Chains A and B, each alone.
Chain A
């Protein structure tokens, strides 16, 4: 019997063969950049067909842009020319774009003015889902005096042409040939750009890119990029720690603390273009009354939310991120004040919250950091002031299904959501959400807000527009509070320390053309 026991124990030790295990790990080594994304992509490669951040990140590697805007807090208006060499505002409604010569798309087609014209005309079609343009195709007249000059005339739309200056950094340039084949053609099947990396194939959840040797700013050093969707943040972190991943995104604050002590990992924190909001359903009671909305805002102590978020949150007091054009800390932005909250509730006919209907606050879990945790705190703070609120924590798909406004008001009464657009253009947030022509989540219809948003959009110059935004439009939104911007997200990436030269934009997209592994 003893012999058998010893045999069992001895054979147990034989199971582990260190040589085999070590050789297995060696097989991981590779030179390409492995990016682990927190979000999945869509089933359509057409850049005008989606608003999905992860796919915008892939486009950042592959596509070319007329300009780039680094959008740092200290210099939010900075513009760097790429496919454009110059942008001139000829008249308030006429913009001239001069293009770089000698640039080729990945399929070999030379980049010319016809591509810019086709991209703008196609992207502004009313049926294109992304809808980033200030007006539809009919409001634009685009001419190409020569192969490297584009004139954008917005006089038919009645809005200024300078709106295209910031937008130029956000709109990937498509090939006119691809566009001519229609929306069901190659546009939806693959990416074809002028950027530093070429799209090779989609292999399951792995988007395979390879360096474009004819890139006009010089061939990239890193030979390829593998862009993978990995849903679990711990899995992403472990993958970075064991050397399988080169860079991971959307770190939880606790993970930052863990990785900061790791000598092989570098952390990049960038104040992002994304603000996180508590959106009110403004088209149905009780939040159709701005006094009730304002009372709810005064019930929330945002400094406590920032404590929960740690490194993932940045204090701001406006409806756009500090890296967006026109940002200021608004003097009238609602502060935590239980007294004001109670006074407004009483004025609205709900003293101490009595008479308010049961309210539902919807939030998500799994994508944004700490939503459940700070959602519980907000719920408790609202309850403390008499709001009969319950919190619904939904996984991403269910939350996404209930997010947007519907006829008669969207589901629930308040919704948590961020809004991120990789351009300094503030209207990508303000007009999208607070103009009655869009009102994505809030459902607000307010003629005064419409008029102010139209006025700032139609300003003749950027300076004039900035002034209107800062002194009229933004303060008006803060007074009517169709939503409450809680904080600005900090985009946290962790990467292999030997990876240098990578530039991360505040929307999470990156320029890897100068990246290299030391």
Chain B
């Protein structure tokens, strides 16, 4: 019963957040400089044609009218069509003329549907790498506060957090791909192409996870129930993994929720550098091309993801620690 009321409440809140984000993005896109019709029709198109296309597309109506029309499509699952991309999904330039001979425009939902799994794959692998590395460094550090594993964790975190992602991406591509030939770096022709960008993202994610894990484990190990566990004759391994880590996992989980949301921002740069065909690369090109429907569609989908991740994190945290109420 708690779960149902929790989900209903949080999903209603989430729907409101998504609506507000959509309204904000929609309005902002229409007040920033840059006429998308000029980009669609080409710089050489006459003014009369620009106005004609704009009127036909309803882009000269009041913003709220446009928004209402857009939302009526969204609730029916129609995020519209890209202004510039053809159905093939190619990233196209804005210098072509907006005549009737242009190929069919791609559906926004299709474009997102093709690229989102790629980004989720990248994000998932990055989280796996980050968690693996954080546990390997953070748990020993938390178990040995003030000693060398703790210092190693501190130095590693400090170094990792100081490395700009775009720089690290280029350096790792040079080292692991160009020099050593271990990994492919650019584009995507198979799972191996996900590894290098995932490592870069994992390096960005790890420092905060390591520090949180170190602190949480260290605090948990000071708690009376740990001492009681030793008196009860529990093994060190059982005490750490069944008791200390479980208690330390709640702050880690909350942090992970925020980190995953931030990760979707991090993939913009990383996907651009590695030419990885995910949602990040799609977003950058959509922004550069003033592809309003695509930008709006991506904003809605990412808002939905943020909301769902946060709901899931809170729900899991409640299940781990029933004392928590959200």
Chain A residues within 8 Å of B, Cβ to Cβ: 1-2, 4-5, 7-9, 11-12, 15, 18, 21-22, 24-25, 27-28, 39-46, 49-52, 54, 127, 129, 183-184, 187-189, 201-205, 207, 228-232, 234-235, 238-239, 241-245, 395-398, 400-401, 403-404, 406-407, 440
Q: A43-B86, A50-B95, A205-B91 are contacts. A242–B140 as well, Cβ < 8 Å?
A: no
| Shortest Cβ distance from residue A507 to the other chain B in the assembled complex, whole angstroms | 15
**B162 on the A face (CB < 8 A):** no
Q: Which 6 A-B pairs have the closest CB atoms?
A: A43-B86, A129-B97, A24-B192, A42-B96, A202-B88, A183-B101
The answer on a CB contact under 8 Å between A238 and B178 is yes
Chain A residues, CB < 8 A from B92: 40-43
A243 to B144, CA, bound (A): 45
Interface residues as binary, B133-156 with A (CB distance below 8 Å gives 1, 0 otherwise): 101110110011001110000000
The answer on a CB contact under 8 Å between A400 and B178 is no
Chain B residues within 8 Å of A, Cβ to Cβ: 33-35, 38-39, 42-44, 47, 84-86, 88-97, 99-103, 105, 114, 132-133, 135-137, 139-140, 143-144, 147-149, 170, 173-174, 176-178, 181-187, 189-190, 192, 195, 236, 240, 272-275, 277, 284-285, 288-290
Query: Can you show 8 pairs from A to B with CB atoms below 8 A apart?
Result: A4-B144, A49-B96, A52-B93, A52-B95, A234-B273, A235-B273, A244-B187, A401-B34
The answer on a CB contact under 8 Å between A189 and B93 is no
The answer on a CB contact under 8 Å between A9 and B140 is yes
Chain B residues, CB < 8 A from A8: 135-137, 139-140, 149
| Shortest Cβ distance from residue B29 to the other chain A in the assembled complex, whole angstroms | 13
Chain A residues, CB < 8 A from B176: 21
A228 to B284, CA, bound (A): 17
A172 to B248, CA, bound (A): 68
Q: A43-B85, A203-B88, A235-B186 are contacts. A400–B39 as well, Cβ < 8 Å?
A: yes
Q: A43-B102, A44-B96, A235-B275 are contacts. A4–B140 as well, Cβ < 8 Å?
A: yes
| Shortest Cβ distance from residue B314 to the other chain A in the assembled complex, whole angstroms | 30
Q: B272 is contacted by which of A25, A127, A231 (Cβ under 8 Å)?
A: A231
The answer on a CB contact under 8 Å between B101 and A184 is yes
Q: A49-B102, A205-B277 are contacts. A25–B181 as well, Cβ < 8 Å?
A: yes
Which chain B residue lies CB-closest to A201? B88
Which chain B residue lies CB-closest to A44? B102
| Shortest Cβ distance from residue A161 to the other chain B in the assembled complex, whole angstroms | 27
The answer on a CB contact under 8 Å between B102 and A238 is no
The answer on a CB contact under 8 Å between B90 and A205 is yes
Q: B90 is contacted by which of A24, A229, A407 (Cβ under 8 Å)?
A: A229
Chain B residues, CB < 8 A from A49: 96-97, 99, 101-102
Chain B residues, CB < 8 A from A11: 136
Chain B residues, CB < 8 A from A1: 140, 143-144, 147
Extra contacts, 16 of them, besides A39-B93, A238-B177, A244-B185 (Cβ < 8 A), are A8-B140, A27-B190, A43-B103, A44-B102, A45-B103, A49-B97, A49-B99, A183-B99, A183-B100, A188-B101, A235-B186, A238-B178, A242-B177, A401-B34, A401-B94, A440-B44
| Shortest Cβ distance from residue A451 to the other chain B in the assembled complex, whole angstroms | 24
Chain A residues, CB < 8 A from B105: 43
Q: A8-B137, A239-B185, A241-B174 are contacts. A15–B132 as well, Cβ < 8 Å?
A: yes
Chain B residues, CB < 8 A from A46: 101
Which chain A residue lies CB-closest to B101? A183
| Shortest Cβ distance from residue B32 to the other chain A in the assembled complex, whole angstroms | 9
The answer on a CB contact under 8 Å between B192 and A204 is no
| Shortest Cβ distance from residue A105 to the other chain B in the assembled complex, whole angstroms | 20
Q: A5-B149, A52-B96, A401-B39 are contacts. A40–B90 as well, Cβ < 8 Å?
A: yes
The answer on a CB contact under 8 Å between B47 and A407 is yes
Q: A24-B192, A242-B186 are contacts. A398–B33 as well, Cβ < 8 Å?
A: yes
A41 to B93, CA, bound (A): 6
The answer on a CB contact under 8 Å between A42 and B174 is no
The answer on a CB contact under 8 Å between A40 and B93 is yes
Q: A49-B99, A205-B277 are contacts. A228–B177 as well, Cβ < 8 Å?
A: no
Which chain B residue lies CB-closest to A264? B178
The answer on a CB contact under 8 Å between A15 and B88 is no
The answer on a CB contact under 8 Å between B139 and A4 is yes
| Shortest Cβ distance from residue A441 to the other chain B in the assembled complex, whole angstroms | 9
The answer on a CB contact under 8 Å between B102 and A188 is yes
The answer on a CB contact under 8 Å between A406 and B47 is yes
Which chain A residue lies CB-closest to B277? A204
Which chain A residue lies CB-closest to B95? A52
Q: B182 is contacted by which of A21, A40, A188, A235 (Cβ under 8 Å)?
A: A21
The answer on a CB contact under 8 Å between A184 and B100 is yes
Q: B91 is contacted by which of A229, A241, A242 (Cβ under 8 Å)?
A: A229
| Shortest Cβ distance from residue A205 to the other chain B in the assembled complex, whole angstroms | 5
| Shortest Cβ distance from residue B65 to the other chain A in the assembled complex, whole angstroms | 24
The answer on a CB contact under 8 Å between A232 and B140 is no
| Shortest Cβ distance from residue B20 to the other chain A in the assembled complex, whole angstroms | 27
Chain A residues, CB < 8 A from B102: 42-44, 49, 188
Chain A residues, CB < 8 A from B47: 406-407
The answer on a CB contact under 8 Å between B101 and A44 is yes
Chain B residues, CB < 8 A from A24: 182-184, 190, 192, 195
A202 to B102, CA, bound (A): 15
Q: A397 is contacted by which of B97, B135, B288 (Cβ under 8 Å)?
A: B288
Q: A398 is contacted by which of B34, B140, B177, B183 (Cβ under 8 Å)?
A: B34
Which chain A residue lies CB-closest to B290? A397
| Shortest Cβ distance from residue B246 to the other chain A in the assembled complex, whole angstroms | 17
Q: B94 is contacted by which of A28, A228, A242, A400 (Cβ under 8 Å)?
A: A400
Q: A232 is contacted by which of B88, B99, B275 (Cβ under 8 Å)?
A: B275
The answer on a CB contact under 8 Å between A22 and B182 is yes
Chain B residues, CB < 8 A from A12: 133, 136-137
A15 to B202, CA, bound (A): 13
Of residues A50, A202, A235, which shows the largest number of chain B Cβ atoms within 10 Å of its Cβ? A235
The answer on a CB contact under 8 Å between B173 and A238 is yes
Q: A4-B140, A231-B272 are contacts. A28–B184 as well, Cβ < 8 Å?
A: yes
The answer on a CB contact under 8 Å between B136 and A50 is no
| Shortest Cβ distance from residue B35 to the other chain A in the assembled complex, whole angstroms | 6
| Shortest Cβ distance from residue A416 to the other chain B in the assembled complex, whole angstroms | 14
Q: A4-B143, A22-B182, A43-B102 are contacts. A129–B43 as well, Cβ < 8 Å?
A: no
Chain A residues, CB < 8 A from B273: 232, 234-235
A147 to B136, CA, bound (A): 77
A395 to B44, CA, bound (A): 18
Which chain A residue lies CB-closest to B191? A24
A398 to B187, CA, bound (A): 26
| Shortest Cβ distance from residue B273 to the other chain A in the assembled complex, whole angstroms | 6
Chain B residues, CB < 8 A from A189: 103
Of residues B33, B105, B181, B236, which shows the largest number of chain A Cβ atoms within 10 Å of its Cβ? B181
The answer on a CB contact under 8 Å between A40 and B100 is no
